[in-house]
Amino acid sequence: MGIIFNEKEKLFKLDTPNTSYVIGIVGSDGFLGHAYYGKKLSDLQGVKDLMRIYEAPFTPDTNARDRLSFLDCFPTEYSGHGVGDYRESSIRVKTAAGHSAVQPYYVSHEIYKGKRKLEGLPATFGAEDAVETLAITCMDPALNLQMVLEYSVFADTDAIARSVKVTNLDENALYLEKVMSGCLDMDNRDFDLITLHGSWARERHMQRLPLGCGKHSVGSLRGESGHQEHPFMAVLEHTATQTRGDVYGFHFVYSGNFQAMAEVNQFNQVRVLMGIQPEDFCWKLEKGESFQAPEMIMTYSANGIGGMSRSFHELYRNHLIRSPYKNKKRPILINNWEATYFDFNEEKLLDIAKEASQMGIEMLVMDDGWFGNRCDDNRALGDWEVNEDKLKGGLKKLVDGVNALGMEFGIWFEPEMISPESKLYEEHPDWAIAIPGRTPGLARNQFVLDISRKEVRDCIVEKICKVLHSANIKYVKWDMNRPLSDIGSACLPADRQGELYHRFVLGMYEMQERMLSEFPDLLLENCSGGGARFDPGMLYYSPQIWCSDDTDAIERLAIQESTSMIYPLSSMGAHVSVCPNHTVGRNTPFETRGYVALAGTFGYELDVTKLSEEDKAMVPRQVAMYHQFNDLVREGDYYRIASYQENHLYDCFQVVSKDKKESLVFFVQVLGEPNMHSRNIRLQGLDENAEYALWDVTVEPGKELLQETEVSVKGDTLMYAGMQVQRMWGDFKAKLFYFKKK
């Protein structure tokens, strides 16, 4: 890790353990350009030539007549708008005179140990010996507009965190209409593009396509990162695989509207941008006021997609997740939603808890339906008072009863929403986001609270904290079940209505921060209609996020594969549920459901009192499996071996401990094939010189969880020759293999 500035060459070199990122200053005006991003460089000799500043049209210093041609092809570090660079811009403003042009020029820089916090925003962090930061100050002298570009490098992972702070130093106000958090220009090398797409119950399915000419973008206008597209993009060589090839990954630490774009121009140059969605965004900056853009994460891997994945995992585990739970086992919970939906009382919940406690399950989570007159999803959001018709004697009595069984207790909230049929809406109809004179859209018969307003945030946080103080509550599931629409605030003036989307997200962050400050030991799990707000911004507040409302084990293979490509396994909320599955109606073996959920946080979403005796007997075995392997799953290095999304037959991935002493291999045979024998899989990440003993894992009652076999294999054999997985009879079959160094 390190950042240097070569005064003679006017080059900045940012080093991570295995990569270098180089920025150059060109010409007397101070054009800031990108020179290189890739494998670590030993020095800077010849690197400036990579910006092609010695080719025509040269810089405006030596060829002012072709300034537009220069700007149209120069690999700009942070692209301007409206002055001759006709590619996608990084920043755009509107002045009092109606002009929109911006051109950043280098002014000064600072290199310092550590990393500053981003006010009001989630961001990566690290101690002074773990992080170093470069802050480059740029100016547009015509606007008197300052832009500070910050880059942080980390000692333990190949990631760079970027952010931008914009300050108006002029006497006159201006309007910031676009501000990307990062821009990267580079030559096209027959690149592909990976993006993630989906919808409710099928979030984050991977799409890989050739990167052709023009603009290719993903984004959200829903007020959240969304089910449909994800704030992630990877640009990679066409021949890149899990284990080899150049891969550039980009991820946005934000939970609202976003845009990620890759553009190929007429010179076969690639520009990647990521930031807040410009559509419907407009932020007024008075004299001296600043706007802090969210953080963008970049990583480069010379070792394929898998190398990118492990860099993201290390960064998020060590420098983004703050929860006291990040380095320890999470309690095995059982959630009553699919067990009861709204039809429950304290007797039913205690019946579930009694049965669950005898099986080793450690926490009962009470989901939607416990407050106000919430008998269905048409009413009562905002009325966060316990319904004592359902819970006789109140919440504390129920929680005490659960605690007496040796279990902890958790509870569900949807704090950002309000129902038209609620006491809160009767008292404060103007607290709902709406446009005067326009019939507002409903989703799930609910409106969205205007949490850009302090009085709204104060009211909701006070209600939540009152509930949490009333009983021994250890866990909160924070849900959000509809996107934003009809964007209008009763409190913002006309020239600030374009700030509402972002102010909403800032308000949500503040509410979660306040709750966690008052209850620092609380385990928070974020959720948004399943996985609609599964993004790095939320990881800053909660160490786990509900991955999807679709708990079908086979559907989860695709969802969890794409999610784990960029997020650590410990962040993925994953449960065992009943069959036929409530989303797709599929029947899968109880054993397979357990193995798939083990690759996440692991828990249950069912009524244990209604399980068959065979399945009931397997639950304590799955609990034991979780305790045996969770440290390895949570802390180990992740390797993808085979993708069900690609081959449509089977799925396989592996987790290896940091010291390479043990490894767990997950294999799911989705479809049985006729006339097939064993399947060869090549493991990864092992010590090639070590000898490993193979242990079979079984959750079958009456047998040892781990059964040592007579197989002993060298690491190099397992990785380069492979191992044979015997054909299993039938569909949806799964098996775990545990390897331990001898």
Residues 45 and 135 in one domain: yes
Looking at the fold, whether 73 and 160 belong to one and the same domain comes out as yes
Confidence at 411, pLDDT banded by 50, 70, 90: very high
Kindly state whether residue 549 falls inside one of the protein's structural domains.
Answer: no
d(CA 151, CA 285): 24
Last residue of a domain, one of 636, 667, 683: 636
pLDDT tops 90 at residue 684? yes
Residues 583, 588, 594, 597, CA torsion sign: negative
According to DSSP, residue 169 is labeled -
Query: Mean pLDDT over residues 383-396, rounded?
Result: 97
Q: Is residue 653 part of a domain?
A: yes
Is 549 one of the catalytic residues?
yes
Q: What does the block give as tokens for 601?
A: 């946080």
Residues 588 and 715 in one domain: no
Tokens representing 390 are 């359902």
Beta-strand relationship, 576-577 and 603-605: parallel
| 97 and 223 housed in the same domain | yes
Shared-domain flag, residues 588 and 664: no
C-beta separation of 231 from 258 below 8 A: yes
The CATH number of whichever domain residue 62 belongs to comes to 2.70.98.60
Residue 664 β-bridge partners: 655, 738
Whether 704 is covered by a domain: the verdict is yes
How many C-beta atoms lie closer than 10 Å to residue 375's C-beta? 14
Report whether pLDDT(1) > 90.
Answer: no
Strands (E), 372-463: 408-413, 417-418, 447-448
For residue 524, give the H/E element and its range.
strand 523-526
Q: Which residues pair with 655 in a beta bridge?
A: 638, 664
Name the domain boundary from 603, 636, 669: 636
Same domain, yes or no: 628 and 651: no
CB 283 within 8 A of CB 176: yes
Residues 137 and 173 in one domain: yes
DSSP state for residue 77 in the 8-state scheme:
S
Q: Which of 479, 535, 550, 651 is catalytic?
A: 479
Average the pLDDT over 348-371 and give the result.
98
Closest CA to 564 of 599, 533, 538, 540: 599
Among candidate residues 252, 69, 236, 229, the one with its CA nearest the CA of residue 164:
252
Q: What is the dihedral of CA 194, 197, 202, 206, to 10 degrees?
A: -10
Confirm whether 557 is domain-assigned: no
Torsional sign, CA 420, 421, 426, 427: negative
Interval 474-524: pLDDT, tens: 999 999 999 999 999 999 999 999 999 999 999 999 999 999 999 999 999
Reported as a single tens digit per residue, the pLDDT across 545-576 is 999 999 999 999 999 999 999 999 999 999 99
Active-site hit among 450, 549, 552, 607: 549
Question: Structure tokens of 524?
Answer: 């928070």
Residue 601 has what pLDDT?
97
- Helix ranges restricted to H, 293-390: 304-319, 337-340, 346-358
299 and 240, same structural domain? yes
Strands 475-478 and 523-526 turn out to be parallel
Residues 250-262: what's their mean pLDDT?
98
479's enclosing H/E stretch is none
Is pLDDT of 675 > 90? no
Q: Do residues 295 and 118 lie in contact, with contact meaning Cβ atoms separated by under 8 Å?
A: yes
In this prediction, residue 359 has a pLDDT band, given cuts at 50, 70 and 90, of very high
pLDDT band for 324, please (50, 70, 90 cuts).
Answer: very high
* Cis geometry, peptide bond prior to residue 580 (ω within 30 degrees of 0): yes
Asked if residue 563 belongs to a domain, the reply is no
Q: Are 243 and 683 in contact (CB under 8 A)?
A: no
What pLDDT score does 498 carry? 98
**pLDDT computed for residue 470 by the predictor:** 98
The token pair at 338 is 């699919």
Statement to judge: residues 389 and 469 lie in one domain? yes
Instruction: Find the angle CA(266)-CA(269)-CA(270) to the nearest 5 degrees.
Output: 120
Q: What is the mean pLDDT of residues 694-706?
A: 92
**What confidence score (pLDDT) does residue 538 get?**
98
Counted domains in the chain:
3
> Residue 545 domain-assigned?
no
Both 155 and 210 in one domain: the answer is yes
Write phi, then psi, for 572 (nearest 5 degrees). -95, 110
Q: If you average pLDDT over residues 578-599, what whole number do you get?
A: 97
Q: Stretch 230-256: mean pLDDT, rounded?
A: 98
Torsion of CA 141, 146, 147, 152, to 10 degrees: 130
* pLDDT for residue 355: 98
Average pLDDT value for the chain? 97
Share of the chain above pLDDT 70, in %: 100
Q: What pLDDT, on a 0 to 100 scale, did the predictor assign at position 170?
A: 97
Task: Give the integer Cα–Cα distance in Å for 232 and 217.
Answer: 10
Specify whether 500 is located in the same domain as 396: yes
* pLDDT of the residue at 262: 98
49-80: per-residue pLDDT in tens?
999 888 899 999 999 999 999 999 999 999 99
Q: pLDDT at residue 20 above 90?
A: yes
Mean pLDDT of 324-329: 95
Nearest to 248 by CA among 181, 298, 209: 298
Amino acid identity of 661?
K
- pLDDT band at 686; cut points 50, 70, 90: very high
Give strand ranges (E) for 188-264: 191-197, 205-210, 214-219, 232-237, 247-253, 258-264
* Rounded Cα gap, residues 411 and 408, in angstroms: 11
Q: Cβ neighbours of residue 49 under 8 Å, at least 6 residues apart? A: none
Pair of tokens at residue 79: 């692209």
Q: Summarize pLDDT for 95-112 with one digit per residue, the tens.
A: 999 999 999 999 999 999
Phi, psi dihedrals of residue 228, rounded to the nearest 5°: -75, -45
Of 49-63, 310-324, 444-458, the one with minimum mean pLDDT is: 49-63
Share of the chain above pLDDT 90, in %: 97
Residue 568 falls inside a structural domain: no
Mean pLDDT within 628-632: 98
Residue 677 reports pLDDT greater than 90 = no
Tell me the H-state helices in 599-702.
613-635, 644-647
Q: How far is CA 537 from CA 113, 158, 479, 540, in A?
A: 23, 20, 15, 6
Q: Is residue 399's pLDDT more than 90?
A: yes
Q: Average pLDDT for residues 646-653, to the nearest whole number?
A: 96
Q: Is the pLDDT of residue 367 over 90?
A: yes
CATH number, domain containing residue 627: 3.20.20.70
The last residue of one of the domains, among 260, 294, 319, is: 319
**Tokens matching residue 466:** 């009152």
Tokens of residue 37, six digits: 């991003």
For residue 717, the model assigns a pLDDT of: 98
Nearest to 655 by CA among 536, 534, 572: 572
User: By residue range, what is the domain housing residue 271?
Assistant: 2-319
- Give the pLDDT confidence score for residue 617 in this predicted structure: 96
Q: Strand, helix or coil at 144?
A: coil
**Planar angle of CA 77, 83, 85, nearest 5 degrees:** 50
Q: Is 716 one of the annotated active-site residues of the chain?
A: no
- Stated pTM of the model: 0.97
What's the whole-number mean pLDDT along residues 617-639?
98
Same domain, 238 and 94: yes
Q: Is residue 686 part of a domain?
A: yes
